[in-house]
């Protein structure tokens, strides 16, 4: 039973079902027996994939798309405004309207749950934990903010006792989860609309770490103290050797070779290994399993080659720390030239962190900055804020590197098709819709 009854007697309608998290939760709800439908702002490959799984989904939002019945429950994405016509109609008809975190809380109450939190690395670390448990025969459920490449899915319920999920600090929703093992990859202030200071954010993480029986934390005193005197598995990367496209390190007496690049991914892997150990996976088996990890969607994902032979790689990096880490990871591929194409995400983040973004991007040889992906924000609320702030900061930090301001995809596509050449690695960076630009550029499979 759940708070709302047996799953097979429930009708759930997801508004914003095309999102990375929402599509997964809808998939799992359907696997549990619920009658599931949903809508998103526009048609997409995600909607088509959900239709192939038997879900009724719509491109566009209309009140008429709400299911019939008296006990319909509507799940809303955080990106959906209050005046969405489906939400308005749902309230008028007396339907229960719940935030996505409420549903995730229900799901985590049904299984022993490993929840991964942190400013950076959540999706990759969650994917690694899921991959290890799958390879070691645990058949876990998982809910990930990106596609697990080995399964081609971002969610499944499985038949095992464990559920692996991402825990979102952006709206404090991670505090509502039922967690047995908490993993924190790092803590850094990112969501400025929610948190006024790093101290406030740390207190939310302290609250998150109060409940779980076990916790995995970086081996840093300022983070370990958030757990107090409760059980904790501190992690750090030992004997790290960065390789082209991967790394090698030691963990609990095991030699681990990783097939995704960058020191940041080695740290993610050690966190995932510690979590898997707490779930009952023997250390040698966990080390073998993580070596086969092929990555997660939109995390250093090779899209193919440009018509001139440049390698196009897509990554979700949308914070200066993530941008710098992704550029450093790309350097391990030893390109003749590293090109960074960055789409800023949110005006508020751009306004606060433009200088940091400029310094992070200066690690590339050629820097291209697009205009801001506004997401839930409005341009008129941030006068004078656009991608040129970051382009200027990158030029100031770039020590003579070429910086291009390419405000729209058409100009970016034209310029990049002219500039890219064989031997280049071109990073497509951002949390918005910039992947479509990368897909346009990648006209050939990568070699």
> Could you confirm whether 257 is annotated as catalytic?
no
Which of 73, 108, 122, 126 is labelled catalytic?
122
DSSP-derived letter for residue 300 is: S
Q: Which candidate in 27, 108, 113, 123 is catalytic?
A: 123
Q: How many residues does the chain have?
A: 447
Q: What is the CA radius of gyration of the chain?
A: 22
Separation of alpha carbons 203 and 348, rounded Å: 22
Residue spans of alpha helices (H) in 209-307 = 221-224, 263-278, 283-291
Rounded-to-integer distance, Cα 282 and Cα 269, Å = 15
> Coil, strand or helix: which one is 32?
coil
First to last CA, the chain: 50
194-228 core/surface letters (b: 16 or more CB in 10 A; e: else): ebeeeeebbebbeebbeebebbbbbeeeebeebbe
Residue 122 catalytic? yes
Which DSSP state fits 258?
Answer: E
The active-site residue out of 86, 166, 169, 377 is 166
- Dihedral in degrees, nearest 10, Cα atoms 368, 168, 95, 48: 50
CA neighbor of 215 nearest in space, from 265, 261, 157, 174: 174
Q: How far apart are CA 160 and CA 270, in angstroms?
A: 23
Diameter over CA atoms, the chain: 64
CA distances to 208, 303, 310, 437 from 447, rounded to whole Å, are 44, 11, 10, 20
Q: 123 catalytic, yes or no?
A: yes
How many angstroms separate the CA atoms of 103 and 11, rounded? 13
DSSP letter at 257?
E
**CA–CA distance, 31 with 384 (Å, rounded to integer):** 47
316 exposed, middle or buried (CB, 10 Å; 0-12, 13-18, 19+)?
A: buried
List residues with catalytic annotation: 122-123, 166
């Amino acid at each position: 039973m759940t708070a709302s009854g047996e799953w097979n007697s429930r009708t759930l309608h997801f508004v914003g079902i095309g999102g990375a998290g929402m599509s997964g939760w809808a998939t799992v709800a359907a696997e549990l027996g619920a009658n599931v439908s949903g809508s998103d702002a526009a048609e997409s490959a995600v909607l088509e994939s959900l239709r192939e799984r038997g879900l009724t989904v719509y491109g566009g939002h209309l009140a008429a798309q709400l299911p019939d019945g008296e006990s319909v429950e509507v799940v809303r994405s955080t990106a959906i405004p209050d005046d969405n016509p489906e939400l308005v109609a749902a309230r008028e008809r007396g339907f229960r309207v719940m935030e996505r975190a409420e549903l995730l809380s229900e799901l985590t109450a049904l299984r022993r749950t490993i929840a991964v939190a942190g400013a950076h690395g959540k999706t990759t670390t969650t994917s690694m934990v899921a991959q290890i448990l799958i390879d070691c025969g645990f058949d876990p459920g998982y809910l990930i903010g990106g596609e697990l490449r080995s399964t081609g899915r971002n969610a499944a319920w499985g038949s095992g006792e464990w559920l692996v999920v991402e825990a979102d600090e952006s709206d404090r929703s991670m505090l509502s989860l039922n967690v047995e093992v908490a993993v924190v990859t790092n803590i850094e202030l990112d969501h400025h609309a929610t948190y006024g200071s790093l101290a406030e954010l740390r207190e939310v993480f302290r609250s998150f770490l109060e409940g779980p029986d076990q916790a995995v934390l970086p081996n840093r005193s300022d983070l370990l103290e958030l757990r107090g005197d409760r059980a904790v598995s501190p992690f750090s990367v030992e004997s790290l050797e960065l390789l082209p496209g991967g790394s090698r390190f030691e963990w609990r007496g095991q030699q681990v070779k990783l097939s995704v690049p960058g020191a940041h991914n080695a740290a993610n892997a050690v966190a995932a290994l510690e979590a898997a150990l707490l779930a009952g996976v023997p250390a040698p088996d966990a080390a073998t399993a993580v070596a086969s990890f092929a990555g997660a969607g939109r995390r250093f994902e090779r899209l193919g080659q440009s018509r001139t032979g440049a390698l196009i790689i897509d990554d979700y990096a949308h914070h200066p720390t993530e941008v710098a880490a992704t550029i450093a990871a790309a350097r391990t591929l030893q390109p003749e030239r590293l090109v960074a194409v960055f789409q800023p995400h949110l005006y508020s983040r751009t306004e606060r962190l433009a200088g940091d973004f400029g310094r992070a991007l200066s690690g590339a040889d050629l820097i291209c900055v697009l205009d801001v992906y506004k997401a839930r924000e409005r341009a008129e609320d941030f006068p004078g804020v656009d991608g040129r702030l970051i382009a200027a900061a990158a030029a100031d930090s770039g020590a003579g590197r070429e910086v291009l301001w390419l405000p729209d995809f058409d100009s970016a596509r034209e310029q990049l098709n002219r500039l890219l050449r064989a031997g280049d690695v071109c990073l497509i960076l951002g949390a918005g819709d910039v992947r479509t630009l990368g897909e346009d550029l990648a006209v050939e499979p990568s070699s």
